[in-house]
Structure 1
Amino acid sequence: MSTLALLVVLLLVLVGLLVVGGLAYLARRHPAWVQPLLVGLAGVTALAALITPVVAR
Protein backbone atom coordinates (compact mmCIF):
# COMPACT_ATOMS: atom_id res chain seq x y z
CA MET A 1 0.00 0.00 0.00
CA SER A 2 1.25 3.43 -0.80
CA THR A 3 1.74 6.14 1.77
CA LEU A 4 -1.14 8.14 0.32
CA ALA A 5 -3.53 5.19 0.63
CA LEU A 6 -2.49 4.64 4.24
CA LEU A 7 -3.05 8.32 5.00
CA VAL A 8 -6.52 8.18 3.45
CA VAL A 9 -7.37 5.10 5.50
CA LEU A 10 -6.13 6.80 8.66
CA LEU A 11 -8.24 9.87 7.95
CA LEU A 12 -11.31 7.71 7.25
CA VAL A 13 -10.81 5.91 10.56
CA LEU A 14 -10.44 9.18 12.46
CA VAL A 15 -13.56 10.68 10.87
CA GLY A 16 -15.45 7.44 11.56
CA LEU A 17 -14.45 7.53 15.21
CA LEU A 18 -15.57 11.14 15.42
CA VAL A 19 -18.97 10.27 13.93
CA VAL A 20 -19.42 7.27 16.22
CA GLY A 21 -18.48 9.42 19.21
CA GLY A 22 -21.06 12.01 18.18
CA LEU A 23 -23.70 9.32 17.82
CA ALA A 24 -22.86 7.92 21.25
CA TYR A 25 -23.16 11.41 22.74
CA LEU A 26 -26.55 11.93 21.11
CA ALA A 27 -27.78 8.52 22.27
CA ARG A 28 -26.75 9.34 25.84
CA ARG A 29 -28.15 12.87 25.74
CA HIS A 30 -31.45 12.01 23.99
CA PRO A 31 -32.53 8.45 24.84
CA ALA A 32 -35.57 8.66 22.55
CA TRP A 33 -33.23 8.90 19.56
CA VAL A 34 -31.51 5.57 20.25
CA GLN A 35 -33.55 3.55 17.73
CA PRO A 36 -32.94 5.91 14.76
CA LEU A 37 -29.27 6.16 15.72
CA LEU A 38 -28.93 2.38 15.69
CA VAL A 39 -30.40 2.30 12.18
CA GLY A 40 -27.93 4.98 11.08
CA LEU A 41 -25.04 3.11 12.69
CA ALA A 42 -26.08 -0.07 10.88
CA GLY A 43 -26.00 1.91 7.62
CA VAL A 44 -22.51 3.19 8.39
CA THR A 45 -21.39 -0.37 9.16
CA ALA A 46 -22.75 -1.62 5.85
CA LEU A 47 -21.03 1.24 4.03
CA ALA A 48 -17.74 0.42 5.74
CA ALA A 49 -18.12 -3.22 4.77
CA LEU A 50 -18.50 -2.17 1.14
CA ILE A 51 -15.60 0.32 1.18
CA THR A 52 -13.07 -1.92 2.97
CA PRO A 53 -12.44 -4.29 0.02
CA VAL A 54 -11.97 -1.31 -2.30
CA VAL A 55 -9.38 0.26 -0.01
CA ALA A 56 -7.63 -3.08 0.47
CA ARG A 57 -6.79 -3.32 -3.24
Structure 2
Amino acid sequence: MRRGPSSVLDTGVELLLVLVVVLVVGAAAYLVYRHPDLATPVLVATGVAAVFAALVVPIVVR
Protein backbone atom coordinates (compact mmCIF):
# COMPACT_ATOMS: atom_id res chain seq x y z
CA MET A 1 0.00 0.00 0.00
CA ARG A 2 1.39 3.35 -1.01
CA ARG A 3 1.42 6.19 1.48
CA GLY A 4 0.96 9.79 0.40
CA PRO A 5 2.58 12.90 1.84
CA SER A 6 -0.29 13.56 4.24
CA SER A 7 0.08 10.14 5.84
CA VAL A 8 3.77 10.81 6.45
CA LEU A 9 2.84 14.08 8.13
CA ASP A 10 0.23 12.28 10.23
CA THR A 11 2.84 9.74 11.32
CA GLY A 12 5.15 12.57 12.36
CA VAL A 13 2.40 14.22 14.39
CA GLU A 14 1.56 10.89 16.04
CA LEU A 15 5.21 10.32 16.92
CA LEU A 16 5.49 13.84 18.35
CA LEU A 17 2.35 13.26 20.43
CA VAL A 18 3.77 10.01 21.84
CA LEU A 19 7.06 11.71 22.70
CA VAL A 20 5.27 14.56 24.47
CA VAL A 21 3.17 12.10 26.47
CA VAL A 22 6.28 10.15 27.49
CA LEU A 23 7.99 13.41 28.51
CA VAL A 24 5.01 14.53 30.61
CA VAL A 25 4.72 11.15 32.32
CA GLY A 26 8.45 11.20 33.07
CA ALA A 27 8.20 14.72 34.48
CA ALA A 28 5.27 13.70 36.70
CA ALA A 29 7.20 10.67 37.96
CA TYR A 30 10.22 12.85 38.75
CA LEU A 31 8.00 15.41 40.50
CA VAL A 32 6.49 12.73 42.74
CA TYR A 33 9.95 11.30 43.40
CA ARG A 34 11.31 14.69 44.51
CA HIS A 35 8.15 15.75 46.40
CA PRO A 36 6.31 12.69 47.77
CA ASP A 37 3.56 14.83 49.34
CA LEU A 38 2.37 15.67 45.78
CA ALA A 39 1.64 12.01 44.98
CA THR A 40 -2.11 12.30 45.50
CA PRO A 41 -2.64 15.45 43.40
CA VAL A 42 -0.50 14.03 40.60
CA LEU A 43 -2.46 10.77 40.72
CA VAL A 44 -5.74 12.66 40.47
CA ALA A 45 -4.42 14.79 37.60
CA THR A 46 -3.20 11.68 35.79
CA GLY A 47 -6.60 10.05 36.21
CA VAL A 48 -8.36 13.11 34.83
CA ALA A 49 -5.95 13.23 31.89
CA ALA A 50 -6.57 9.53 31.19
CA VAL A 51 -10.34 10.00 31.19
CA PHE A 52 -10.00 13.07 28.97
CA ALA A 53 -7.79 11.15 26.54
CA ALA A 54 -10.22 8.22 26.52
CA LEU A 55 -13.01 10.58 25.50
CA VAL A 56 -11.10 12.76 23.01
CA VAL A 57 -8.94 10.23 21.14
CA PRO A 58 -11.83 8.28 19.58
CA ILE A 59 -13.35 11.55 18.38
CA VAL A 60 -10.08 12.75 16.86
CA VAL A 61 -9.33 9.40 15.21
CA ARG A 62 -12.68 9.39 13.44
Which shifted more, 37-46 or 17-26? 37-46
Aligned to 1:4: 9
Aligned mates of 1:9, 1:56 — CA distance in 2: 11
Ranges in structure 1 where 5+ consecutive residues have no aligned partner: none
Larger Rg: 2
Paired amino acid for 2:11: L
1:17-47 per-residue CA deviation (whole Å, 9 max, x = no partner) reads 0000000001111010000000111122122
Q: Percent identity of the aligned residues?
A: 49
Aligned to 2:29: 24
Aligned residues: CA RMSD: 1.7
Which shifted more, 46-55 or 29-38? 46-55
Q: RCO (CA 8 Å, sep 6+): is it higher in 1 or 2?
A: 1
Offset at 1:52? 2.3
- State how many pairs are aligned: 57
- With normalisation by structure 2, the TM-score equals 0.77
